[in-house]
Amino acid sequence: MKIATWNVNSIRSRQAQVIDWLQRTQVDVLCLQETKVVDAQFPRSLFEELGYYLYISGQKSYNGVAIFSRKPATDVSMGFAAVLDTAQVGDLDEQKRVISATVDGVRIVNLYVPNGASVNSEKYDYKLRWLKILRDYLHSILEEQSHELCVCGDFNIALEDRDIHNPKGKEKHIMASPVERQALQSVLDLGLGDAFRKFTKEGGNFSWWDYRTRAFRGNRGWRIDHIYLTPNLYNQAISCTIDIEPRKLDKPSDHSPVIVNL
């Protein structure tokens, strides 16, 4: 079973590239982030014609997540409030960043973690608050359900220095500051393993490159898109790769897809 995650930076702008990629890779499940479209305007038909079932949670202009699956999924849920008390979730479901579904006994959680703007900004506080609730959310799922978990998406955090082309100044940099790294680590301490790092130890492997500085040409990237697995799935994993081919195309997303083969 192949599961992929890809921040497409607008599904309407990237539709043709995603179609081509699905035809080439034939993944069983594709988790998308930053679809940037309300559900009623999501371009469903070409993906459905390819044989995928679509589960989407979008909003106007910003954020938005989706799960495409070759097999029908069960127990599809949107947002933290599907699991946690609404009082605890507060305003955190207003931005569409969480969708979950079960495929072939695997509970897939697809996340678009807030970017955080800059360290110690209001949005940074929101990111940390969001990661705290994410921990509670995953903790509840692990306690109350017996599913194996695949937690994937755009985390907007490079956990280690080898995940950044140049870690100089990282303490003050969004996506690498110690507090947000610790917040993610605390989520992973629930018992999740990084599928990519099971197979690849070297630095220089990235999933995002800034549009603005021709960063891709010099491979000045960050590894911020992740696939995390509970122990049994982690042990089962056969491969986990980042496909940089779509990043080479004209008008690409700034992120590349990550694929795990279970």
Partner DNA sequence: ATGGCGTTCCTTGAACGA
Distance from C-alpha of 249 to C-alpha of 157, rounded to nearest angstrom: 25
Binding map of DNA across residues 118-137, x = CB under 7 A, - = no contact: x----x--------------
Binding map of DNA across residues 19-38, x = CB under 7 A, - = no contact: ---------------x-xx-
Window contacting DNA (CB under 7 A); options: 6-14, 24-32, 129-137, 186-194 = 6-14
- Answer yes or no: are the C-beta atoms of 219 and 205 closer than 8 Å: no
Question: For residue 163, how far is the Cα from the chain centroid?
Answer: 16
State yes or no: 7 annotated in a binding site. Answer: yes
| 111 is a contact residue toward DNA (CB under 7 A) | no
Looking at residue 245, what DSSP letter applies? G
Nearest partner of 149 among 251, 237, 247, judged by Cα: 237
Q: β-strand 148-154 against 106-112: which pairing, if any?
A: parallel
Amino acid letter for position 259: I
Q: DSSP alpha helices (H): ranges in the chain?
A: 11-25, 45-49, 86-89, 122-144, 178-188, 195-199, 231-236
Catalytic residue among 28, 93, 154, 163: 154
Residue 139 bears catalytic tag: no
| 239 is a contact residue toward DNA (CB under 7 A) | no
What sign has the CA pseudo-torsion 115, 249, 163, 111?
Answer: positive
| 172 is a contact residue toward DNA (CB under 7 A) | no
Residue 154 bears catalytic tag: yes
Distance from C-alpha of 113 to C-alpha of 130, rounded to nearest angstrom: 8
- Buried b or exposed e, range 146-168, using 16+ CB within 10 angstroms: ebbbbbbbbbbbbbeebbbbebe
Catalytic residue among 112, 124, 137, 228: 112
| 12 is a contact residue toward DNA (CB under 7 A) | yes
| 258 is a contact residue toward DNA (CB under 7 A) | no
Residue 112 bears catalytic tag: yes
| 257 is a contact residue toward DNA (CB under 7 A) | no
Interface residue with DNA, options 222, 234, 242, 259 (CB under 7 A): 222
Interface residue with DNA, options 72, 88, 211, 218 (CB under 7 A): 211
Amino acid letter for position 192: L
Binding positions for Mg(2+): 7, 34, 154, 156, 254-255
Site residues for DNA per CB under 7 A = 7, 9-10, 12-13, 34, 36-37, 60-62, 114-115, 117-118, 123, 154, 156, 174-175, 208, 210-213, 222, 224, 251, 254
